[in-house]
Every structure is written in structure tokens, then in C-alpha cells.
A and B are shown apart, each in its own frame.
Chain A
């Protein structure tokens, strides 16, 4: 029999040769099956299976709206590539269960990733297969519907576009995003401090901008617009970076135990709030986890950079620039989602149910923490945007009101729909669609107004400011109702 022989060989071999008994295609098939099972079991089969259709629908709707309002098809194609790179950057972290957030999200859930410690599989090989599976899975489940949606619109086909080419182009930049993240994490496991990595990225971006080399980068990151050789080079480079990262990655990397002085009492006593202990815990969890208290700021800055780049592209092609205050105020409010996401990564609602506090107390504390963290995190990028794009005073003030109101609204919407698990948006079609529609209702008219009336007239400014206040109040109501809503759900599960 071959079975026992395989086992004997595996036990006797070293870690990297021991998994020779399991072929890579077989390993990938198992990983795919587990990925599908995980999503369908967690969110309900149809709610997850519907997700690609929702993405296609949203892409078609957004593309039609943009093209009909005068946006050049090339800009839409570029925007879709930018979005896909961002998604790839995010997805690249999924295989690394070592970081604080991912240990919470995946560490105790994923039997697959932890199985390398009990099965004759090397951690490096399993990780490589896991990331390859993720790349293929998301290329089909997420990127393919995006490409279908984009091509469903007449006029998009500048050169001879086909669904397949467009999909390949988007998939390639998705892989670029993943490989970049994997490379950064791999370097981190070799002891390079996070701040050095951050500084390196910052200097590279500033250097590229100062020397005017960001333009060529843009053309490389939209492979379908460039020559095939460039796309081929990008593909080879991505593969090389991915393979090199796996080689550099140290599976045994572990951070030494960290100690901290007692800050809880000082912060908790300084906050004049009934929920001060809960708020303080959230703040300390955020500040002491990987990336520190800067995480929400970085998330908001990335959003700013993406949107600013898009505005620049639109301006250069169409000559139309929006009112910066109104435009950035509306869009940057979306960072509420990422800020809340960071604030819920390091605890669970169930854990609070052992204390004499209600779920409503927990949500109220999270809202206070959100305001304390989110306000400065988004204010700085907003101020940078209005100064950089030379907003008028009225525009800047209205934008600030919109930013505050919309951020509170997006926060309330997120908490009401997703409770303590905002990440579930990414896999639950119904929740994702509800959230998207909820966001679009105030944001789309605001953005249209921001493009049409530049700078905003006095009447429009008052109307938008009032709208921002009303929307903010709606957000407040939604977040207030989230506590009782989720309390009932948890207690009657």
C-alpha cells in the first residue's frame, strides 16, 4: 500500500520536503473548497453567491453614471484599475495570520493556515498555495464581475477591448497589489521595523511625484492601455516579487513579549464619561496593536490619495474639477467605515457579555471612541485637500459640515447593518448592497452638485450644509438603535 509509505516518508523528512506527498493541484483544490465552504457557511450560500452579481450591477451602474455625466471611458478604466490595486493590497494580508488583526479575524477560525503545524506541510508552501488560491478566487469572484460590469457599457471599448483582456488586465493589477503587500509583510518578518517600511513608501511616493515619474507608473498599472510587452513585464515582475517574498518570509517570525506601563487608569479617569472604561479599552487596543494609533489616519490618507488622483485624472482629461470642499468632504466621510473597522478588530461582543454592561453600552462606547479617533484622522487629510486644491472659504466650511455629518451617517449605517462585524460586508451580498445604496443616497447627489456648481453658490452651500446636518442626525439615530437591535439578535440567537 502506498499510504503508510507516504506517511513514513513525510515524518522522516524535513519540513520543506515532507509535503511531497500532497500535490500542489490537490492542495489548491482543498483550499478552494475550504474557501467556498467558509463563506457559504458563515453568510449563507445565496447571500455569498449573490455577491458577484451585486458587484457587476454596481460597476455597471457607476460606469453608466460616470460616462453619462461626461467622464471619459479611459478614466473609468483607470479608476477600475486603481480600485482593483487597492483591493489587491488589502487581500494580500489574508494569508498572514500573524498580525494582530488577522489573528483575531482568521487565527482561530482558519484550520487551514494553522494546519501546517500538525500536518506534513511546510508553512511556506501552504502560505504560497493559500495566497495563490486567494488570488485566483478573488480574480473570479470579485474581479471578473467588475470587468463584466465595465464592459457592459457602450463606448468603453477604446482599443479592441474584450472581456477576457479587460479581466486579465484587472487581475494582473490585483496580483500586483497582493504581491506588494506580501513583500512588505515578508520584509517585516525579517525584523525591518514598520516605521522604516512606512518611511520607505512615503519617500518613494514623494520622490516619484517630485521627479514626475508617477505618470509612467500610472500607465504601467493600467496594462490594457499599454503595449503587451509592458503587461508581460509587469506579470513577470509580479511573479518574481511574489516568489521572492515567499523566499524571504520567515515563518518562525514572532514578536517578543511586550510590556506597557499602566495607562488605563490615567486615560479612563481623564475621560468625563460613564463609558470611560469601555472607551479607554478600545483606544488602548487600537494604539497598542500593530500599526498603532496611526492606522485610521493611514486609511483616510489612502482614500484621499486615491480620490485626489482620480480628480486629477478627470481634470486633465475633461477640464472639469469639482468644488474641493464639497467633493472631499463627502468622499472622505467614507473613512468612517475603515475607522470603525479598526476599532472592532480587537474584541468581540460576546466577550463583553460576561460583565454587567449592555450591548447598547458597548456600542455607545464605540461611538465615542470613533469620534475621538475618527475626527483627527479625517480632519488632517481634509484640510490638506482643501488647501491643496485651493477651496474657497464657503466651500471649505460646507465641506467640513458634510464631512462631519456624512462620517457620522456612514458610521451609523455601518453599525446598524453590520453590528460588530463590518468586515462581513465583503462577503454578504445583501448587507453590501444595503450599505452601498445607503451610502449612494446622500453621496451621489452631493458629488454631482460638487461638480456642477463650482464654487458652491450661497443657496447651494446652505442646502448642502443643512443636508449634512440632517444626514448626521440620521446617523446618530441609526447608531443609537444599533445597540438594542444587536442586543436582541445576540440574546435571542
Chain B
């Protein structure tokens, strides 16, 4: 049984159908890639699944909780790395992770241990006492990754996990996500980056215009068609491969 279940999900903003009949399941052990262009409905879907907004229609459940009826319980059980940059905060990373631990009801000593472990893993030990607002975007992203995992959730929702990270840390994060899912958890990754999806995901759902237009298992279902080709076919049709000639732009 899927730990994330979505059926007939719809969400409109005014006259725009942001999500239009989305349906998929995600099981434990999976890194599920949610792949699509800007405005495809990826972030809206994550916001519904984490109880941040209510859908217009559809059934969703995460770890057996209902994000619509009981969003607090859903958010208690999952980890969330939002896409938008965090607002300027004047807490240090050490204080911020203690704050997250407190609102999640974790033991402070345990949080302190995990803070040190995450700082070492992602290389921000020297920044633990620097105000968050004075960190670089990459360092801020590292702290946000740590907060998403600090309570060791069974399901984690991640919007663009590698944004602003340097190549070394990207590799570490990719390896960690794969191993975390393999440990009987589920990682839901929303991304534009096809290479990243191909590298770390066990299964990919391709989203366009608020709908899931294709799904592919990457773990044990090799095909001749590359993920990029599948993406271009399903998102824009065959014409997408014939990218606009750059010469046309050279005015």
C-alpha cells in the first residue's frame, strides 16, 4: 500500500487549473521524481499533500493521514523542504534546528546530536553560529535540508533538492536521498532537472498542465527511449525536440 496516495486531485487558482485530475501512488523504498516544466502543478501538488492548501477535489493520503482534514498530523509525520527561499531569519543554524526540534516535540539533546551530524555531513560546521540571514544561499539550502530530516520522517517532500548547492554537496545529497529511501522510507522529489531525476529516482512521474502525463520506473525497467525524450514527447509533443533555432533569436 502506498505511503502517498493521490486520486482525482484538482486545484484551481481563479480560472487557472493548476492541478487537473492528478493520480499516483508512492511506496516505501522509492525516490519518486515529480518532473515537469514551470507551472505544471508540481509545487501545488506538494502543498496539498503537506496540508498547506486545500484541494478543490480529490482524495489524498500520506502515511495514512489526511492532509486536508488533519494537516498538522500530516506535517508532524513528514519532512518538507520547500521550493521558495526561506525568509530572512536571525536565528543561527544551531538555533534554527533547535527551533524545528521544539515545534516537532523532539528531545533537545537528540536534536543537538543530529545538528552536529548534519553540519558535518553537509559541511556547515563552521557556520553553525552565523545568523541564517548572513549565510550564502547554498549554506541556507543545506540548513533547510537538515531541518527536513531532523526528525527522521518516513516520508520527505523535497522541492528542487540541489538548488544552490556546489557539486560536491550535490553528490552527497543525492547519495543520501537514495540511501534514505532504501531504508524503508519514501522520498518525493520535485525537480526540473532530468539528469538528477534519472540518477536518483526509482520512478518518475511526468507532469504537464496539472496532469500526470507519463510514469516510468527507472529501477528495473530500462527502455530505449531516454527520459529526456519521454519528457519532451509528453510535455510538448514531438515538436519540442525541434527546439527553436537559436539563429531566430539572433536579431
- What is the interface of chain A, defined by CB distance below 8 A to chain B? 100, 103-104, 108, 255, 257-265, 268, 276-278, 280-281, 284-285, 287-289, 346-348, 350-351, 353-358, 490-493
What B residues does A103 contact at CB under 8 A? Answer: 88
Cβ A493 vs Cβ B53 within 8 A: yes
> Which of chain B's residues has its CB closest to A269's CB?
B108
- With an 8 A cutoff between CB atoms, is B38 at the interface? no
Cβ A284 vs Cβ B73 within 8 A: no
- With an 8 A cutoff between CB atoms, is B107 at the interface? no
- With an 8 A cutoff between CB atoms, is B176 at the interface? no
Q: Give the shortest distance, in Å, between A441 (CB) and chain B (any CB).
A: 34
The listed residue (A265, A347, A356, A492) touching B98 by CB distance below 8 A is A265
Number of interface residues of B (CB under 8 A): 37
Cβ B76 vs Cβ A100 within 8 A: no
What A residues does B135 contact at CB under 8 A? Answer: 257
What string of 1s and 0s marks CB contacts (under 8 Å) between B168-204 and chain A? 0000000000000000000000000000000000000
- A-B contact list, 26 entries, CB within 8 Å: A259-B92, A259-B131, A260-B90, A260-B92, A262-B95, A262-B129, A264-B91, A265-B95, A276-B102, A277-B103, A281-B91, A281-B99, A284-B90, A284-B95, A289-B90, A346-B88, A351-B87, A353-B50, A354-B75, A355-B103, A356-B72, A356-B75, A356-B103, A356-B104, A493-B13, A493-B53
Cβ A263 vs Cβ B75 within 8 A: no
- With an 8 A cutoff between CB atoms, is B89 at the interface? yes
Q: Give the shortest distance, in Å, between A265 (CB) and chain B (any CB).
A: 6
**A-B interface, 4 closest residue pairs, ranked by CB to CB distance from nearest:** A264-B95, A288-B90, A356-B76, A277-B102
Bound form: Cα–Cα A300–B95 in Å = 30
Within B112-166, which residues are at the interface with A (CB < 8 Å)? 129-131, 133-135
What B residues does A260 contact at CB under 8 A? Answer: 90, 92, 95, 129, 131
Q: With A257-B130, A355-B75 in contact, do A346 and B52 touch (Cβ < 8 Å)?
A: no
- With an 8 A cutoff between CB atoms, is B86 at the interface? yes
The listed residue (A100, A285, A350, A355) touching B104 by CB distance below 8 A is A355
What A residues does B50 contact at CB under 8 A? Answer: 353-354
Cβ A285 vs Cβ B90 within 8 A: yes
The listed residue (A261, A351, A355) touching B86 by CB distance below 8 A is A351
- With an 8 A cutoff between CB atoms, is B94 at the interface? yes
- With an 8 A cutoff between CB atoms, is B19 at the interface? no
Bound form: Cα–Cα A493–B55 in Å = 10
The listed residue (B76, B87, B98, B104) touching A264 by CB distance below 8 A is B98
